[in-house]
Every structure is written in C-alpha cells, then in structure tokens.
Structure 1
Amino acid sequence: MTITHLMTDEAVLLELGLRLARMRLSQGLTQEQLADAAGVSKRTVQRLEDGTPAQLANLIRYLRALGRLEALDALLPSDSPSPIDLLERRGQPRQRARPGVAASAPAKPWTWGDEQ
C-alpha cells in the first residue's frame, strides 16, 4: 500500500510496521534476534511492527540492525540551499523563517482616513 497524505496517523504507523516486519523476515530474523542486535527489548520490536507509536531512536536502532539505516536518507534527503539564496545571504545558510507581512497582521479594510 502506498502511504499518502489522506491516511490517518494510525494507518501510516500500521503500514510502516508491516514494512519493518517484512524487512526483518526477509533477512530471516526473529523478533528476539533483531531486538538483541538492535539493543532494544523484544517488546520494542513488537511495538514498532504492530504500528504502536515508538521512539525515533528505537526506529534508528532497528534499521541499523537490519543494515537499512540509509533508508532514512531517502525519507528525508539533505536540503541544500539554492544558489540564489546563498548569493542573497552572502554564503550564509538561512537560520530563521519569518512570517510574511500578510501573515503577521490581518488586513484592514482601506479607508480615506476622514471617517469617524
């Protein structure tokens, strides 16, 4: 199943858990073996695979034990600044985001200024 923005958080977690279990099984590992290799409890592996919310650090350990940590790079690729941004900022990467003028103050209806 393809993960889309229309899915609930629970559905996404369940799909990710199913994918993690398939990766583990394709390597012929039991949950206990993977837990030992990852340095987590068997219950943590079960939680990841059944779609229960879990800590990100445990997902990293799980993927590292499977030799699939680089999959996170595909999930969140490095975002380098555009050349125009670097020129405008004199080579400095952006540090903060500022809301636009329209976002910071609600627009007031225009008046002539002589109304009472």
Structure 2
Amino acid sequence: MKFESLLSDEAVLAEMGQRLVAARLERRLTQAQLAQAAGVSKRTVERLEDGASAQLTNLVRCLRALDRLEGLERLLPETPANPLDLLKQAKTGRSRVRNARASGVAETGGAPWVWGDEK
C-alpha cells in the first residue's frame, strides 16, 4: 500500500506498523530483541507494530536499531536553500563600523570645558 493523502491517520499508522514488522522479521529479531536493542519496552514495540499511537522518539529508536533511520531522510528531505534568501543573508552583514566614544565629554586637550561667558 502506498501512503496517500486520502488515507486516514489510522490507516497510515497501520501501514507503518506492518512495515516495521517486515523490517524486524527481515533482521530476524523478536519483538523482545528489538525492544532491548532500541531501549524501549516490548509493549512499545507491540504498539508501534499494531499501528497504535506512540511517541516519535520510540519510533526513531526502533528505526535506529533496525538500521532504517536513513529512511527518515527520504521521508523529510532537507530543503535546499533559496538563492534569494542567501542573497538577503549576505546583504544583512554590517557594512560600517563605528567607534565608540571614549567618554561623553568632547575632547578639549586636557583642560576642563568652560562656558563661553566664563573666560
């Protein structure tokens, strides 16, 4: 069965569970062996294989134990960078450097500043 947008969530989970069973049997592992290799409980493996809802972390652990983690790359491939976005990022770099003033007082050659009428 192919995953299609018309399938219900339950049908997709059931198909994923069947594929997980096939991958486990291909490796000649029992549910208990897969659970131990993945670091999850046997009940978690049973739930995944039955198409029941489970945590995504547990699915990733099972896929890693079955050497099928690279399948996620095909599931959600990395999106290539948009050339326009790269150009915008390059332009946002600073084009000018401003030196901070040493203090809030204007330089007067060491003499204290005085008002014009105080001379």
Report the TM-score when normalising by structure 1.
Answer: 0.75
**Alignment correspondent of 2:69:** 69
Q: Which ranges in structure 2 are unaligned for 5 or more consecutive residues?
A: 93-119
Identity of aligned residues (%): 59
Whole-angstrom CA distance in 1 between matches of 2:10 and 2:90: 44
Matched, 1:42 2:37: no
| Alignment length (residue pairs) | 92
**Alignment CA distance shift 1:11-1:36 (3 Å):** same
Q: 1:79 Cα deviation (Å)?
A: 1.2
Correspondence for 2:107:
none
Counterpart residue number, 2:80:
80
- CA RMSD, Structure 1 to Structure 2 (Å): 1.4
Q: CA deviation at 1:91?
A: 6.6
After TM superposition, the structure 1 stretch with the greater mean CA deviation from structure 2, 73-82 or 36-45, is 73-82
Q: Which runs of 4+ in 1 moved over 6 A?
A: none
Superposed displacement of residue 82, structure 1: 1.3
Tell me which residue corresponds to 1:104.
none
Query: Which is higher, the Rg of structure 1 or of structure 2?
Result: 2
Residue type of the alignment partner of 1:18: Q
**Residue of structure 2 equivalent to 1:90:** 90
C-alpha distance after superposition, 1:8-65 (max 9, x if no partner): 0000000000000000001110000000100100000000000001000000100010
Partner of 1:13: 13
Amino acid at match of 2:67: G
- For 2:33, give the aligned amino acid: Q
**1:53 matched to 2:37:** no
**How much has 1:84 moved relative to structure 2?**
2.1
TM-score for the superposition, normalised by structure 2:
0.73
> CA separation in 2, counterparts of 1:5 and 1:18?
18
> 1:93-112: CA deviations, max 9, x gaps?
xxxxxxxxxxxxxxxxxxxx
Cα separation, partners in 2 of 1:60 and 1:91, compared to 1, 3 Å? farther
Q: What is the alpha-carbon distance in structure 1 between the residues aligned to residue 16 and residue 38 of structure 2?
A: 18
Q: CA deviation at 1:85?
A: 2.3
